[in-house]
Amino acid sequence: TSESDTPISRFQQYLRINTAHPNPNYTTPINYLTNFANSIPNLHSKIIHLTPTIPLLLLTWPGSNPSLPSILFNSHLDSVPAEPEKWTHPPFAAHKTSDGRIFARGAQDDKCIGMQYLEAIKAIQSSDPNFVPLRNVHILYVPEEEVGGFNGMRKFVERKEFEELNVGFVMDEGQASTNDEFRVFYADRTPWHMVIKAVGMPGHGSKLVDNTAMENLMKSIEVITKFRESKFVIVKAGLAANSEVISVNPVFLKAGTPSPTGFVMNMQPSEAEAGFDIRMPPTADPQLMRKIIEEQWAPAWRNMTYEITEKGFLRDNMGRPLMTLASDTNPWWSVFNEAVTRAGGKLSKPEILASTTDARFMRRLGIPTFGFSPMKNTPILLHDHNEFLKDTVYLEGIKHLKTCFAGISILEKMILHTI
């Protein structure tokens, strides 16, 4: 292996492909991954278009018993944007510092696992050229996760090609752990995007008048802030994790009359709006949430209207909260847990993920799905400035996945042969 072709250099090359919204490039990473997959024995690739311009990449490692339900390893191709001027290293240069930190948008979320899956399969086959997994193993690279998956996983799970995969178990992205234990996630929170709008009395900037749009909006923001604080104190007191409560965070404010130098300063605007990111744990009551929004956050009597875009579901097709059992009543949990332990890893208590992933579309179909990104002793930097991953952590993750994948294949022969 030349110096320019190592797991780290391949990771850096993948990170240098700018797949950030609003204009993610999907063809370059798919070509890159296909080329790499072609260099690994026994991997077959297929590109499927979800729209004429939005593709996904499906790789398949055939198992010895392809009639059994398959295992799917998922990651997304796209990233959130970055503000380059606020980073210490350019977000698409994948610069590696002398202490091994690789800085890039996507380093943690989630280009690490995308490449680690392949590196692990490559490593398994080079240490044992005769190794064949029991089931078909699929490695999937989907677009549009960061914008809700509408033209991504949400669409793909409805296609015949997905049904034909006969997926029995899914591993998707997780999150970094700041200590020496790996984290595993059995559920996500469900996002609602909420925009509240106020209308009110326009008028001269000097006039004290009731019921202006700004006043109405600010009152709503006050009420929402109180709700936010009532949840936050529970988290701060250590009584619940961030991911176990409902969160609501303002993400934009829009009001005022633009002028060439900024805003007209002596007019009170007749309209004002604000946007919020709401996340609900799977046990939350969506009806109650709607009632609170309608009666307290955007009441019609205060000249407010609201729009909610539900970016997911709280229940599966059978009406159950969207979560995967993380106990030994779920044989896939036993296999995963045992494989991690045998690989020498420690798992912390299974958690709900504070954010949201494409796992929800698989859980919705009743397919057991765990979130797992093998990053430990790493600060959690997804969607943040200066996102990085250390080379040693990345390499250890590959080793871990390698043992874990091989372990799953061996263990499932013992535990899951009846599924």
Please identify, using beta-carbon distances, which residue of 150 and 263 lies nearer to ligand MET.
150
- By CB under 6 A, tell whether 106 contacts ligand MET: no
172 counts as binding ligand MET under rule CB under 6 A: no
Binding positions: 76, 109, 146, 173, 383
Calpha distance 267→52 (Å, rounded): 47
Residues 312, 360 contacting (CB under 8 angstroms): yes
Least distance in angstroms from the C-beta of 340 to ligand MET: 24
Would you say 264 and 256 are in contact if contact means Cβ atoms under 8 Å apart? yes
- Residue identified by tokens 């677009």 is 143
Using rule CB under 6 A, residue 369 touches ligand MET: no
Active site residue 145: yes
Is the Cβ–Cβ distance between 287 and 229 less than 8 Å?
Answer: no
Q: Is residue 311 close enough to count as binding ligand MET by CB under 6 A?
A: yes
Question: Which residues sit in the known binding site for Zn(2+)?
Answer: 76, 109, 146, 173, 383
- Among candidate residues 145, 172, 358, 391, the one labeled active-site is 145
Q: What share of the chain is helix, strand, coil (3-state, %, to 5)?
A: 35, 25, 40
Question: How many other C-beta atoms can be found within 10 angstroms of the C-beta atom of residue 53?
Answer: 10
* Strand residue runs (E) in 25-110: 44-51, 54-61, 70-76, 95-96, 101-103
Segment holding 24, helix H or strand E: none
Pick 91 or 269: Cβ nearer ligand MET: 91
User: With contacts defined by CB under 6 A, how many residues of the chain interact with ligand MET?
Assistant: 8
Shortest distance, position 241 Cβ to ligand MET, whole Å: 16
Over the window 143 to 162, marking each residue x when it contacts ligand MET by CB under 6 A and - when it does not, the resulting string is --xx-x--------------
Give the interface segment with ligand MET, choosing from 30-38, 332-340, 353-361, 407-415 (CB under 6 A).
353-361
CB-CB neighbours of 401 under 10 Å: 29
50 alpha carbon, distance to own chain's centre: 19
Q: Which is nearer to Zn ion, 91 or 200 (CB)?
A: 91
- Which range in 44-52, 134-142, 215-223, 351-359 contacts ligand MET by CB under 6 A? 351-359
Answer for the pair 121, 33: CB distance below 8 angstroms, yes or no.
no
Site membership for ligand MET, residue 281 (CB under 6 A)? no
Could you tell me the smallest distance in angstroms from the CB atom of residue 190 to ligand MET? 9
230 neighbors 223 (Cβ within 8 angstroms)? no
Shortest Cβ 383–Zn ion spacing (Å): 6
Q: How many Å separate Cα 211 from the centre of its chain?
A: 41
Binding residues for ligand MET (CB under 6 A)? 145-146, 148, 191, 311, 355-357
